[in-house]
Amino acid sequence: MALTTTYTDTRAATVGDYFALLKPRVMSLVIFTGLAGLVAAPGHIDLPTAFVALLCIAVAAGASGALNMAYESDIDALMSRTANRPIPAGRIARGEALGFGWTLSVAAVALMGLFVNFTAAALLAFTVFIYVGVYTLWLKRRTPQNIVIGGLSGALPPAIGWAAVTGSLSLAPLLLVAIIFLWTPPHFWALALWRSGDYARAGVPMMPVVRGKASTRRQILAYTAALIPLGLSPAAIGIAGPLYLACAGGIGAWFAAEAVSVFFERDEAKEPAAHRLFRVSLIYMFALFAALIAEHALHIAPFGAWA
Amino acid sequence: MAVAAMDEGKARRRRNIALALALGALVVLFYIMTMVRVHP
């Protein structure tokens, strides 16, 4: 069945609408994790180059968001959470958003290659490819594993930040990538548990829609069980110290407790435990990377330096 | 109708200014980064 969209808002696009296309909240998390990779990496990077690296990560993430909104405008129009976005609301034409997104993507990768290094630029291009090509265009409408595999794009910024300093990759940045990768399914499936009606209406095969809520709860618990110990591992390999360990342990325990609550939740209409898990997952991610940044900014030695 | 056209004009002017500022910032960025690369 062909999808038809009724555009009702005839107001001209403002600068704010173009900014909204960049998904600023996602962009802020990506800048944050990219910065953590940048400061945790061994070696020196001058301030202007570090600024350009973060700018490129932010712009590429924003551009990917704009491309995602352009390619998914038909789905967005059908969901209450996204119906007022600039494209489904009719304020920005889909083609315009595509041009905006692709221009910014190419510019961000080119700038990263020119002024930082080609490893970081290649990783940045790979991130855009995973988010737009693999997640948005291929997996989103086909499989409930969409956010698991597509989550790799949101997980890569610490590796890009690390590569911006060192020009290479090692176990440490890949561990940070793995933490975000395992964090993504419980985070998004918690949201999907209480938004499952929206996703079902739009025909998006999210886990609760395809496999049911019971299966989603089990998988949230399984991913959380893998995530919490992995969240502690940066301290074990010597890139994080006591502040990080306290956050990863304390908030990790809170995260695990909420995942257990979600597993036993029986209020399927309101899903209060899923709401709480969604919030604590955001706190967990910000706290872990904030602790990592703070330890390096305040020169709190990582555990590796204590040996 | 006239009000709508005026709003449209204002929005377009703001977009043009934002675009000019973004391009200006890019020029400044290229200049600074070239200086950093030439005189590390």
The pLDDT, as a whole number, for residue A307 is: 61
pLDDT score of A2:
44
> Can you list the residues of chain B whose pLDDT is less than 50?
none
In this structure, what token pair is assigned to residue A229? 């110990």
Chain B residues with CB-CB distance to A11 below 8 A: 7, 11
Nearest-angstrom CA–CA distance, A241 and A248: 11
Predicted local confidence at residue A81, as pLDDT: 86
Q: Does B7 touch chain A (CB under 8 A)?
A: yes
Residue A306, exposed/middle/buried by CB under 10 A (0-12, 13-18, 19+)? exposed
Check B11 against A115: CB less than 8 A apart. Answer: no
Any A CB within 8 A of B37 CB: yes
* Angstrom distance (rounded) from CA A222 to CA A12: 47
Of B14, B33, B40, the CB nearest to A14: B14
CB contact under 8 A, A12 and B12: yes
Query: DSSP string covering chain A, please?
Result: ----------PPPPHHHHHHHT-HHHHHHHHHHHHHHHHHSSS---HHHHHHHHHHHHHHHHHHHHHHHHHTHHHHTTSTTTTTSTTTTTSS-HHHHHHHHHHHHHHHHHHHHHHT-HHHHHHHHHHHIIIIIIIIIIITTT-TTHHHHHHHHHH-HHHHHHHHHHSS--HHHHHHHHHHHHHHHHHHHHHHHHSHHHHHHHT---HHHHT-HHHHHHHHHHHHHHHHHHHHHHHHTTS--HHHHHHHHHHHHHHHHHHHHHHH---TTT-HHHHHHHHHHHHHHHHHHHHHHHHHHTTPPPGGGG-
Q: Note the pLDDT of residue A1.
A: 40
All residues of chain B having their beta carbon less than 8 Å from the beta carbon of residue A15 are 14-15, 18
C-beta pairs of A72-79 under 8 Å, 24+ apart in sequence: A72/A136, A72/A140, A73/A5, A73/A97, A74/A3, A74/A5, A75/A140, A75/A141, A75/A202, A75/A203, A75/A204, A77/A3, A77/A5, A77/A6, A78/A3, A78/A198, A78/A201, A78/A202, A78/A203, A79/A195, A79/A198, A79/A199, A79/A201, A79/A202
The alpha carbon of residue B7 is apart from the nearest alpha carbon of chain A, in Å, by 8
Residues of B whose CB is below 8 A from A55: 29
List the domain boundaries for chain A. 14-167, 170-307
Q: Is B11 on the interface with A (CB under 8 A)?
A: yes
For position B2, what pLDDT does the model report?
66
Contact A193, A213 (CB under 8 A): yes
> What pLDDT, on the 0 to 100 scale, is given for residue A9?
52
The distance of B22 to chain A (nearest Cα, Å) reads: 12
Global pTM value: 0.90
Domain with residues A14-167, CATH architecture: Orthogonal Bundle (1.10)
Q: What is the pLDDT of residue A302?
A: 84
> Could you report the predicted ipTM of this complex, rounded to two decimals?
0.77
Q: Could you list the pLDDT tens digit for every one of the 307 residues in chain A?
A: 444 444 545 567 889 999 999 999 989 999 999 999 999 999 999 999 999 999 999 999 999 999 999 999 999 999 888 999 999 999 999 999 999 999 999 999 999 999 999 999 999 999 999 999 999 999 999 999 999 999 999 999 999 999 999 999 999 999 999 999 999 999 999 999 999 888 998 889 999 999 999 999 999 999 999 999 999 999 999 899 999 999 999 999 999 999 999 999 999 889 999 999 999 999 999 999 999 999 999 988 788 776 6
